[in-house]
Amino acid sequence: MPKRPSLMLTLLGATALLGGCAWLPSQQEPAPPPVTSAEFQVGLQQLERRVMAQCDDHAERLAQQRQGQRTLTADVREVGRLVRDLSADIEQLARDSHQQDTTRVITECRTTDDRLANKALLGRAEWVGLPNIGTFLKARVDSGTDTSSLSARDITPFERDGEDWVRFKLGITKDDAVAKTARDGWQEAPIERRVRVTQAAGEVSRPVIELLMTLGPIREPVQFTLTDRRDPEYPVLLGRRFLMDIAIIDVAKEFVHDKPEMPGTAAESADSEEDATSDASS
């Protein structure tokens, strides 16, 4: 029982302490001082200036946007005008090009016709005359060959007065139509040049001579390569060099021009006809 008074004292002290804390006045924030009329006017003016600045900025941006729209509209109209002008120019160019093409085609056709009018028409096979040899021969027109050629045999080169010549006989068969005087006779001509021809046995050098040739209205010196072809039908081949600028070929035709008359061949033809008549009578 001796500890009971001390416990009571402790409780009384704690109660007094708590009661003293409750009696202390509560601490609160001080209230702001009242706004004066001058301060209120200053704040109102500041707010008004901020609102006016925002309105001016908005108006300026709106004006810039409207100006941009007007500029864009003007640009669109200008582009539209340029497109219309370009379309008109293209249509005009198309019309001019069509007219030029038509004119060019007509001009080219006329030019081609003029060129054709100055050229002789040849079939794929023709009679040619060789006045230097005194005979006529059958010729095949061959545009795939560069130089014309004459079938020859016993080709013998020799020299005369320091120049190269060649002696030969016509390389023809017994069935070939030819003047009697030229069938087995020797012919001589100067060598204009030589050409090299590649064959299976190797390269061969062939002489080229120049002979006067007649074919219909054509009377031209022609270069011939001498070669022993013994073609049973055509002893003469006419190449591109002869055809160039003077003749055109119609491969659907042959012997468009008559057989040329050589001196002495008319008499031979008459003798042949007379012999044939005599043989028929007997």
Residue 152 counted as domain residue: yes
Q: Which of 166, 138, 131, 135 is nearest to 152 (CA)?
A: 166
Residue 192 counted as domain residue: yes
CA distance 92 to 95: 5
Residue 225: what pLDDT?
93
- We report the CATH number of the domain holding residue 128 as 2.40.70.10
Residue 149 counted as domain residue: yes
pLDDT of 203 over the 90 cut: no
Compare 229 and 13 and report the one with higher pLDDT: 229
Q: How many domains does the chain have?
A: 1
User: In the chain, what are the helix, strand and coil shares in percent, each to the nearest 5?
Assistant: 45, 30, 25
51-72 residue pLDDT tens: 988 998 888 888 888 888 888 8
Residue 43 counted as domain residue: no
Q: Binning pLDDT at 50, 70 and 90, where does residue 202 land?
A: confident
pLDDT of 34 over the 70 cut: yes
The pLDDT of 80-94, averaged and rounded, is 85
CA distance 268 to 250: 32
Report pTM.
0.53
pLDDT of 12 over the 70 cut: no
Residue 25 counted as domain residue: no
Q: Which of 218, 216, 209 is nearest to 245 (CA)?
A: 218
Among 136-140, 210-214, 270-274, the least confident range? 270-274
Residue 17 counted as domain residue: no
Residue 17: what pLDDT?
59
Among 73-77, 224-228, 230-234, the least confident range? 230-234
Residue 267 counted as domain residue: no
Residue 57 counted as domain residue: no
Instruction: Tell me the H-state helices in 118-191.
Output: 180-183
pLDDT of 105 over the 80 cut: no
Residue 143: what pLDDT?
82
Q: Binning pLDDT at 50, 70 and 90, where does residue 233 land?
A: confident
Question: If you search the block for the tokens 């009329």, which residue do you land on?
Answer: 37
The pLDDT of 208-231, averaged and rounded, is 88
b (16+ CB within 10 A) / e for 235-245: bbbbbeebbee
Question: Any residues with CB less than 8 A from the CB of 214 and at least 6 apart, and which?
Answer: 128, 129, 131, 260
What domain range includes position 230? 122-262
